[in-house]
Amino acid sequence: MIDLLPIHNSPEANISYQHIGRTDITRFEKMHVEVFSESGLASIAVAREIANLIRYKASKGEACVLGLATGSSPIKVYEELVRLHQEEELSFQNVVTFNLDEYYPMAQNNAQSYWSFMHEHLFDDVDIPPENINIPDGTLPLEEVYPACMAYEEKISQYGGLDFQLLGIGRTGHIGFNEPGSSNQSLTRLITLDHLTRVDAASDFRGIDKVPKRAITMGINTIKKAHRIILLAWGYKKAKVVKKTVEGKVSSAIPATFLQEQPNTTILLDEEASAELTRFKTPWLVGPCEWTEPLKRKAIVWLSHNVGKPILKLTERNYNENGMSDLLAIEGSAYALNIKMHNTLQHTITGWPGGKPHVDDSYRPERAEPAKKRVILFSPHPDDDVISMGGTFLRLVDQGHEVHVAYQTSGNIAVADHDALRFAEFTHNLNQLNKVSTQEIEEIVTELQREEDSELDSLKVRSIKGLIRRGEAIAGARYCGLPDNQIHFLNMPFYETGRSKKNPLGPEDIQLVETLIKEVKPHQIYAAGDLADPHGTHKVCLDAIFRAIDHLKDQSFMKDCWLWLYRGAWHEWPIHEIEMAVPLSPQEVEKKRQAIFFHQSQKDGVMFQGEDSREFWQRAEDRNQATATLYNQLGLTEYEAMEAFVRHHF
């Protein structure tokens, strides 16, 4: 058995990580953390580290013992390992794997089993001998679970322990399924899943009731004995638990903190997951900063919030006591700095999202000319337009711009069977009344009368669900004042899998977006920059827009085209990042609510609710009101609500 050094020092691994932000070890961080600009690059680095280890072990004639994780975090690592196998002759003949966990009870062939996950994402595509694969068995009778767990531990020990352990982290702070309360000494065992973990798994299982209540998991002690550990965390949803893990006290309340005691652990983050770490969130508390304009804005908004005063009332003392004395030194005085920042924020507010015609626009977020703009509002699902920017949508139309709305996907998987059944039965009955052949619709009715929502809808059921959302979207857009020829349904094919997991973006998807942009030649594009929706559809839709824009960048009309990003139902831009804030009056808030109400299939208990039990219109209103309140607390005018946008420069 060899002892591996932490990989960043390891000659055989030969990996160099890219650093983002401050690289000095801060007094806040108790673990080795590496931050990447995006998760794909981090995943490639991890896969290379694993590949180097496999090859190193093979060169010594030894088995390479890998502890593996499931979930969304390691998917791209496995993709890269498969690529290395297929294109760069990486062999898995000497690899032995132990998976962290499995739901209990769980049949292997169930689509949600970790057994299925591992075969789908890795094992079926590499040359690992099947007898080298170990996954906790979710099919055992209860009385056999404990002995099987002990045997699992024993088998790992017989191989000399895990050479490498890959981990994700749950929002409860679990690693494996070691939920809060797990002891540092815990071994492989049966565990009850935390409610939050089950909420997070609910959309994969189509409802929390169907998520198993228990799982078999390796223990904290089993994991910590690995010679090398890499934990992956992507996305803003993980940012809070990452901060607790890296900067918090070691405690079984956040089991991942036990990794602070394992010196060969590295945490790999993308920028979003790192956002709550002190060195990124409030770098002025860590040490001297390079004071860029965005950082000044972030710091002063934070300071105002932290001391509970509007910007114009901040004093030299407030700055000095909160790590910003160097900023004061650069800017001269609190007075000058306060006025400058107050004005900067004031200039982000406009009631003219398409630009105010015929006025000096030097301090306005949008250009005055042309007075009438062509606008495309891209909406990933058929309701994001009104949920996220319904007020701005209404204003753009009222102010005479040529607004087109483009629904990027059909949104069919978010329609419940009972809603679809109502429409199918109605059509069926109407057909019978008119003595029309009804066989097709009869088949749909039969399928929808199933006991439980299915994992996979047939094409026919998908089409009826898609039509329901289409009808709702048309009604909503008409209500906002659009003529039908400015309402576009792209039905991007990547979405049409009939289940939560979508296909990767293809050329056909990008082409659809590109064709519309070419046709409309917009001065403004609005797109969802909300990367937090549950199944990642918003991100894929945004990627399609970026790629279409990239293809079109040499077209002359693109020189006049600005891209504004809004955020969806799931979270809002932080105040310091907002570049255009559109105020809504109480009447406009009501009108926006009406527009959202047209999306009836997404009301009253939606399919993919997440852990937030509020309806979409409530979330939108609360969020828009919160933005207005925050602006007001900074000392700016008090509005009822505000929609927020960030400009993307390409």
The site for ligand F6R (CB under 6 A) is made up of 69-73, 100-101, 168-170, 174-177
Active site residue 179: yes
Question: 265 vs 399, which CB is nearer to ligand F6R?
Answer: 265
Nearest distance from C-beta of residue 174 to ligand F6R, angstroms: 5
CA dist., res. 461 & res. 580, Å (int): 41
Which residue of this chain has its Cβ atom nearest to ligand F6R in the complex? 168
CA dist., res. 43 & res. 234, Å (int): 10
Nearest distance from C-beta of residue 530 to ligand F6R, angstroms: 18
CA dist., res. 610 & res. 64, Å (int): 39
CA dist., res. 189 & res. 200, Å (int): 22
Q: Which two tokens stand for residue 427?
A: 């059509």
Question: 105 vs 176, which CB is nearer to ligand F6R?
Answer: 176
Nearest distance from C-beta of residue 31 to ligand F6R, angstroms: 17
Question: 530 vs 615, which CB is nearer to ligand F6R?
Answer: 530
Q: Which two tokens stand for residue 23?
A: 């690289």
User: What are the start-end ranges of the E strands in 370-428?
Assistant: 374-379, 402-407
Complete DSSP assignment for 73-103: TTHHHHHHHHHHHHHH----TTEEEEESEEE
Question: 169 vs 327, which CB is nearer to ligand F6R?
Answer: 169
Total H helices, total E strands in the chain:
20, 17
> Of the residues 49, 80, 179, 276, which is catalytic?
179
Q: Which two tokens stand for residue 41?
A: 């690059």
Question: 215 vs 468, which CB is nearer to ligand F6R?
Answer: 215
Burial class (CB in 10 A: 0-12, 13-18, 19+), 200: buried
Outline where 434-506 has alpha helix (H).
439-448, 459-479
Name residue 467's amino acid.
L
Nearest distance from C-beta of residue 167 to ligand F6R, angstroms: 6
Question: 57 vs 76, which CB is nearer to ligand F6R?
Answer: 76
Q: Which two tokens stand for residue 402?
A: 């040529």
CA dist., res. 356 & res. 354, Å (int): 7
CA dist., res. 490 & res. 281, Å (int): 38
Nearest distance from C-beta of residue 539 to ligand F6R, angstroms: 15
Nearest distance from C-beta of residue 218 to ligand F6R, angstroms: 8
Question: 70 vs 186, which CB is nearer to ligand F6R?
Answer: 70
Q: In what order do the strands lie in the sheet with 524-528?
A: 487-489, 402-407, 374-379, 524-528, 562-566, 641-648, 580-584
Nearest distance from C-beta of residue 70 to ligand F6R, angstroms: 4
Distances (CA, A) of 497 to 79, 189, 502, 504, 564: 20, 36, 6, 11, 29
Q: Known catalytic residues?
A: 179
